[in-house]
Amino acid sequence: MTAPVLSAKGITKSFGGRAVLKGIDLDAHRGDVVSILGGSGSGKSTFLRCLNLLEMPDAGTIEITGTRAPLVHDRQGKARIDNPKALGALRAKTAMVFQNFNLWSHMTVLDNIVAAPVHVHGTPRAQAVERAHALLEKVGMTGFAAHWPMQLSGGQQQRVAIARALATDPDLMLFDEPTSALDPERVREVLDLMRALAGEGRTMLIVTHEMAFAREVSSHVVHVRDGVIESMGPPAVMFGADASPVFRGFLSPH
């Protein structure tokens, strides 16, 4: 078996004494599409944000295609990373798509897409621009290169954000509720795009409330509850007759 793209072990995190993550282990291999489901406050988003260290876990190890950024603890026991190079390298292997898109509002669509390749990975600008145009075509946004994020609809912004995430050809893509801030009629265009990415063999971790999408597109479904993985498995099992009663209760709480 090949080495996993992502290997997270024993991730814990508490906010102000309240334990949000109580030790989560998760591996993802190349081409895996892992949907992370769970109620609000279950810790699923916090877990995703721990993986690229936007949220600093209290303990645990994260390895992404062989790169690690070990946590160190100060005298109060507060965790941090004192190797900014390793931290940057780890994050540069990932890309995140946010609930609120977070396109840089002072940059055009094109500049948003080329920023990371040019300023983080050192790709020549001409090459990054060429790739950006190809990505815009892929996400159905040809002709919008010179637009500003504020001129776009939510769905369009999220598709640009996905193009931005693809620009560095990341080993791991993290989606943090990518459709939760969209109008219902815009959700589909983003989900269709994500389905296409899954079909290309992208390694994706998706925190979502879109059950039908998770069931249809994922290779694995993970149910997070009270800061631990309550159950996980392929969708056929998770949504099948032998599913965990707790997960079934989450799906239909009646």
- By CB under 8 A, is residue 119 in contact with other proteins? yes
- By CB under 8 A, is residue 100 in contact with other proteins? yes
Cα dihedral 230→200→127→124 (10° resolution):
30
Residue with the two structure tokens 């946010």 = 98
- By CB under 8 A, is residue 46 in contact with other proteins? no
- Please report how the helices 154-166 and 184-199 are oriented relative to each other, as an axis angle in degrees rounded to 10: 20
Letter for the amino acid at 133? Answer: H
Q: Which is nearer to other proteins, 142 or 153 (CB)?
A: 153
- By CB under 8 A, is residue 151 in contact with other proteins? yes
Q: How far is the CB of 38 from other proteins (least distance, A)?
A: 21
Q: How far is the CB of 55 from other proteins (least distance, A)?
A: 10
- Give the contacts of 235 (CB within 8 A, at least 6 positions apart): 35, 214, 215, 216, 218, 220, 221
Interacting residue with other proteins among 13, 44, 91, 223 (CB under 8 A): 91
- By CB under 8 A, is residue 150 in contact with other proteins? yes
- By CB under 8 A, is residue 84 in contact with other proteins? yes
Strand order in the sheet with 172-176: 94-97, 172-176, 204-207, 33-37, 220-225, 228-233
Contacting positions for other proteins (CB under 8 A): 52, 54, 84, 88-96, 98, 100-106, 115-116, 119-120, 147-152, 164, 168, 174
